[in-house]
Structure 1
Amino acid sequence: MNSLGLPLPKPHLSRQTLISNSKPLIPFLEWRLRSQSSKGFPFLRRERTRIHATTALLQHSEHDVVVVGAGIIGLSIARQLLLESDLSVAIVDAGLPCSGATGAGQGYIWMAHKTPGSDTWELAMRSKYLWEELAESLQRRGLDPLQVLGWKKTGSLLIGRTSEELAILEERVRLLSHTGLRVEFLSSNSLLSREPALEVGKEGGAAFFPDDCQIDAFNTASFIEKGNKCFASKGRYAEFYNDPAKCLVRSERNGVAEAIQTSKNILYFKKALVFAAGAWTGCLMRSLFVETDIVPVPVKPRKGHLIVLENFNGIQLNHGLMEVGYMDHQFASYQPVDNTQHFSSVSMTATTDMNGNLVLGSSRQFSGFCKEVEEPIVKSILERAAEFFPTLNDLFHNLNENGKIRVGFRPYMPDGKPVIGPILRFPKVFLATGHEGSGLSLALGTAEMVADMILDNPSRVDCKPFSVEGRFSHWVLKSSGKVDKKQLKCIHFVNQFMDLRDCEHIRRLSFHSPTKFWKKPD
C-alpha cells in the first residue's frame, strides 16, 4: 500500500519544510516543531496562522449535509434526505461506491437470524418493510425489481443437523411466529423435498422463512446513486469520489465543526456531517478528533471471504441457506491477535445471485485491513460447505477455474449493534456505522432514522439503543504494553497525511506499537 512507503517524520523537521510540502501534512495549519530530546519524537504545537497557499489549491463548496462514505448506508442516507426534504447533500468517499463491505456481501434481507426483543429487532423489521415497499414501488412503475435491485423473494432456511440445534430451531420458530412473521419448522424429509442437493442427515431440519429476500449490492447501490444524481441538476446533490477526508475544520470563534477537508476539496455543511464509513469510521474519527476528548468509537474491521462459483451447475438452490451456528459466529467477540495467527470462524451460508452464480460463505476474522485472499480460509469455507453439499468436494482442485473470491471488512461493534446518532460535543456531527454483516438489510431503516434526527422529525423506531453518548462507558481501551506519549504524538502526526484506510497498518508496522483492542473489563 502506498501509505506504508511514506517516510517517517524526522526529529528536526523545519517549519519551512512543512509549509513548502506539496502535499501538506496538516491542511490549513502551520506547525512549529520543538524537539524535547535528541532521542524523542518531535513535540508538535499548533499555530493559528492560515496557509493561504494551501487553501488556494482546494475547491470550496457549501452544502446542507455532507455524508462521508459511499456504501449502502451513506448512499441511502443521502437518498432519504433528498426525497424527504429540500436540503442539499454531498457524498464523499476515499474510493468508489460499493468498494467496502457493501460490494463484498451476499445481499440477504433475512429475519432468520434476528432475535425478537433485541435492540436491533425493530430496526430490522422497519428496514425490511422499507425494502419490500421499494420493490413494490418499482413494480407499480412498470419496472422489474429483479433487474433493478437483483430483488428475489427466495425465502430462507436456517439449518440444523443435531438434536441440540433442532431444539434451538423449534424455539426460534415459536418465538418468531408470535411476532407475526411467517415461519415454519421443517423435518429432514420436508427439507430434502425443498432442497434436494442438501445433506443434513436423519436428525436434520430447518426453520423456513418464506418471506425473506435478497438483493444485489451493486445493482441496488447503482440504482440509489442514479436516483440521487437526479437532484444534481437542481443543485442539491454532489459526489466527491477518490477523495479521502483529511481533517475536520472547526470555527476559530467557538470550535464548532463547520467543514470537512478532503484531499481536493473543503466541503462546508450547514445542517449536518454524517460519518457512514463502515469499518473505517473508527480510524477516521481517531484522526479527525485527535485533539479532543471524544471517546473513539470502538468499531473494528472484521474481514470476511465469500466464494462466487460462476456457471456452476452442480447445485441448484431454491432458497437462501444458513446454518444455525451462523448466529453464534456472527456475534463472536473480538480477540487480540499477533501477526502470525488471526482469530477466525467459518459457518455455512449459500445463496444464488441474480445471474445464477452460487455464492458460498462465510468467514469472520480480525486481521486489520489486510485485504489479501487467505487460502486456508477459502479452503475452510469450501470444506464447511461440502459437509452440507457433498457435490462440492469435486471443486477443491479446480476452484481457480470456477470461482472468484470476494474480500470485505464488516464494521464490527463489541456490543453487537450499530452506532446511530449525533455526538454530544459536536451536535451537527452524526455517526451511522457498526452494522457488521447487516448493512444491506438495515440500510433503509438506518437512513430513515438519521434523516429524522437531522430534520427533527419524530423517530419511527426507538433510537436510544444506538445512541453514541454514554454507550461505551463499559468498554475500555486496553493495550498489551505501554505506548510512549511522544510516540502517540507522532502517530497522530502521521494520521494527518496518510491514507486513512491504512492507519492501523501504519501504527503496527511503522511504530511497532502494541495492538489495541476493545474488551469488556473483567
Structure 2
Amino acid sequence: MSSQATDDRTRGYDVIVVGAGIVGAACARALAQTGRTVAIVDRADAVSGTSSHGEGNLLVSDKGPGPELVLAQHARRRWATLSAELRDESGPDFPGIEFEAKGGVVVATTAAGADPLKTFAASQRDAGVVAREISTAEALDLEPALNPAITAAIHYPEDAQVQPVIAAEAMLRSARSAGAVMRMRTTVTGGIVRAGTLTGIHTDHGDLHGDVIVNAAGPWAAGLSTALGARIDVRPRRGMVLVTTRMPHRVFHKVYDGDYFGATQSADAALQTSSVIESTQGGTVLIGSSREQVGFDDHLRVEVLRELAGKAMRVFPFLANASIMRTYGGFRPYVPDHLPVIGPDPRMPGLWHATGHEGAGIGLSVSTADIITALIDGHPTPVDATPFRVDRAAVLGEEAA
C-alpha cells in the first residue's frame, strides 16, 4: 500500500465530494477556498460523464417563473465574474472556458406555436427576465440564415454559453490550487456509518473518512445514495447531439424552437425532441436536443438523430447542406418534479446532495456550490434553498409514499 493510501486511511477530510463533473468541481472549489480539506472522488476520469456530453448552456430562456429560474438568474450573474476568476486562477497557459454572452433567440415555426411562446415570454418578463418580443425582420437581423417563415420570435440577451469540459477542468484546477486532492478511478462501495452518522466511504482503493460527504454523481446519484444508505430518486434521461464539421459562422446566438421548454418539463419517458442550434468558437454547429428515459442504454438510435436533423433544418434551412462530423449522447440527472436536489439528507447525517439538475447542470453548478457552501457554513443562502431540499416527495420516491 502506498504512503498516500495509508495517509488517506488514517486521516480524515472536512469534505469528500463524490463526482468530478462540473457540479462536483464547483462544490469542491467553493469548499476548498474556505480553507477546508477536500477530496474529490470519481469512479472514472475527471469530467468524463454528463459534463463532457453537454452543450455548455447558461440559460434563463428555457425556465418558467419559479425556483429554478431564480437559481438560474443567480447563476447567470455569477458566471459573468466566474470566468474572470478562473482565468486569473488558472494562469495564461490554461485554455479559456469560452464564456460567451451571446444571447438567445427562441422562435415558433408553426402558427399554433406563436401565442404560447409569447405568453411564456410575458410570464418570464414578470419574473425579471429580459425577454424581448421581436419581429421576423428583427430576428433576421440577429440571425440572417434563419427561416423567414417563422411565426414568432423572442430575444433573450441574458443567455450565454461556456465550453463545459474546460470550465469543469478549470474549477478542478482551482480546487487543487486551494489544497483539494483528487482520487480518480476510485469506486465507492459503501458508507462508513458510526452512531447513525455517515463519517466516510468505503472504496475499491481503501477507506476515506470525512465530516461531510457530497453526492455530486449526476445521473448515477441514485446508485451512490443507495450505497451510502439513503436513496434519492434521480434517474438517467438520455440526450443526443449532432456536431457539424467546421464552417464559417452562420449561427450567432443560442437558437431553438419553442417546443424546447415543453420537452424539458415533460414527465413522459418516451422520446421528446426539439431543435436547439448554436455555434461553437471552434466553428462547429451543435444540434440538439433529445430527451428519453431508457435507463443507461447508450446504443446509437438513428431515428433520434433523424428527428434532430429534420427539426433543425426547419429553423436553419442551410443546415440541409451541412456535413455531420460526429454525434454523441449522454445522461442527464432527472428528478420527477424538475428541480435539483441541493442540501443535507435528514435521513443520514453527514450526507449531502448536489444533483438532479437534468440539462441545466452546467449553468447551475456555480449556484449549487454557493448554496452547499453557505448551508455547511451555517450562513444565509444566496437564494431560497427550500424548494431544492432532499426531503420532498419527488426525491424520496417510493419511500415518501
Q: Deviations over 1:97-122 (max 9, x none)?
A: 22111111111111111112x12122
Question: Cα 1:143–1:242, aligned 2, differ >3 Å: closer, same or farther?
Answer: closer
Aligned counterpart, 2:359: 437
Letter in 2 for 1:454: I
TM-score by length of 2: 0.92
User: What secondary structure does 1:326 align onto?
Assistant: helix
* Contact kept? 1:61, 1:266, Cα under 8 Å: no
Unaligned runs of 5+ in 2: none
* Contact kept? 2:90, 2:174, Cα under 8 Å: no
* Contact kept? 1:244, 1:263, Cα under 8 Å: yes
Letter in 2 for 1:90: A
Q: Which has the larger radius of gyration?
A: 1
Aligned counterpart, 1:163: 111
Letter in 2 for 1:245: V
The answer to whether the aligner puts 1:195 opposite 2:122 as a matched pair is no
* Contact kept? 2:335, 2:394, Cα under 8 Å: no
Letter in 2 for 1:360: I
Letter in 2 for 1:302: R
The one of 268, 271, 281 aligned to 1:354: 281
Q: Distance in 2 between matches of 1:277 and 1:367?
A: 18
* Contact kept? 1:90, 1:238, Cα under 8 Å: yes
Aligned counterparts, 1:12-91, within 5 A:
59-83=9-33, 85-91=34-40
More displaced, 272-281 or 206-215?
206-215
How far does residue 164 in structure 1 lie from its aligned partner after superposition? Answer: 3.3
Letter in 1 for 2:81: E
How far does residue 149 in structure 1 lie from its aligned partner after superposition? Answer: 1.1
Q: Distance in 1 between matches of 2:247 and 2:202?
A: 47
Question: Cα 1:140–1:64, aligned 2, differ >3 Å: closer, same or farther?
Answer: closer
The answer to whether the aligner puts 1:423 opposite 2:373 as a matched pair is no
* Contact kept? 1:334, 1:414, Cα under 8 Å: no
How far does residue 273 in structure 1 lie from its aligned partner after superposition? Answer: 0.6
The answer to whether the aligner puts 1:149 opposite 2:97 as a matched pair is yes
The one of 305, 308, 314 aligned to 2:240: 305
* Contact kept? 1:103, 1:217, Cα under 8 Å: yes
User: What secondary structure does 2:382 align onto?
Assistant: coil
Equivalent residues, number = 396
Question: Cα 1:245–1:143, aligned 2, differ >3 Å: closer, same or farther?
Answer: closer
The answer to whether the aligner puts 1:99 opposite 2:48 as a matched pair is yes
The answer to whether the aligner puts 1:241 opposite 2:176 as a matched pair is no
* Contact kept? 1:247, 1:287, Cα under 8 Å: yes
* Contact kept? 1:60, 1:265, Cα under 8 Å: no
The answer to whether the aligner puts 1:108 opposite 2:57 as a matched pair is yes
Aligned counterpart, 1:498: none
* Contact kept? 1:275, 1:431, Cα under 8 Å: yes
How far does residue 141 in structure 1 lie from its aligned partner after superposition? Answer: 8.8
Q: Deviations over 1:400-458 (max 9, x none)?
A: xx411121100000011011111112221101111000001111110000111111111
The answer to whether the aligner puts 1:207 opposite 2:138 as a matched pair is no
The one of 173, 180, 190 aligned to 1:226: 173
Aligned counterparts, 1:394-433, within 5 A:
394-395=321-322, 399=323, 402-433=324-355
Question: Cα 1:174–1:204, aligned 2, differ >3 Å: closer, same or farther?
Answer: same
User: What secondary structure does 1:347 align onto?
Assistant: strand
Question: Cα 1:473–1:80, aligned 2, differ >3 Å: closer, same or farther?
Answer: closer
* Contact kept? 1:305, 1:407, Cα under 8 Å: yes
Letter in 1 for 2:228: L
Q: Distance in 2 between matches of 1:301 and 1:61?
A: 35
* Contact kept? 1:249, 1:260, Cα under 8 Å: yes
The answer to whether the aligner puts 1:174 opposite 2:101 as a matched pair is no
Aligned counterpart, 1:48: none
- Identity score, percent: 26
More displaced, 133-142 or 404-413?
133-142
Aligned counterpart, 2:227: 287
Q: Deviations over 1:36-74 (max 9, x none)?
A: xxxxxxxxxxxxxxxxxxx99x95542100000011110
Q: Deviations over 1:446-491 (max 9, x none)?
A: 00001111111112211111111243489548xxxxxxxxxxxxxx
Question: Cα 1:198–1:262, aligned 2, differ >3 Å: closer, same or farther?
Answer: same
Question: Cα 1:142–1:99, aligned 2, differ >3 Å: closer, same or farther?
Answer: closer
User: What secondary structure does 2:67 align onto?
Assistant: coil
How far does residue 172 in structure 1 lie from its aligned partner after superposition? Answer: 3.2
How far does residue 229 in structure 1 lie from its aligned partner after superposition? Answer: 1.4
Question: Cα 1:474–1:62, aligned 2, differ >3 Å: closer, same or farther?
Answer: closer
Question: Cα 1:421–1:371, aligned 2, differ >3 Å: closer, same or farther?
Answer: same
Q: Distance in 2 between matches of 1:197 and 1:438?
A: 27
The one of 245, 250, 266 aligned to 1:332: 266
User: What secondary structure does 1:149 align onto?
Assistant: coil
Q: Distance in 2 between matches of 1:109 and 1:90?
A: 27
Q: Distance in 1 between matches of 2:287 and 2:129?
A: 26
Aligned counterparts, 1:447-462, within 5 A:
447-462=369-384
* Contact kept? 2:341, 2:356, Cα under 8 Å: yes
Letter in 2 for 1:63: Y
Question: Cα 1:141–1:273, aligned 2, differ >3 Å: closer, same or farther?
Answer: closer
Q: Distance in 1 between matches of 2:40 and 2:58?
A: 25
Letter in 1 for 2:184: Y
Unaligned runs of 5+ in 1: 1-54, 336-342, 478-519
How far does residue 140 in structure 1 lie from its aligned partner after superposition? Answer: 8.3
Letter in 1 for 2:278: T
Aligned counterpart, 1:382: 309
Letter in 2 for 1:244: T
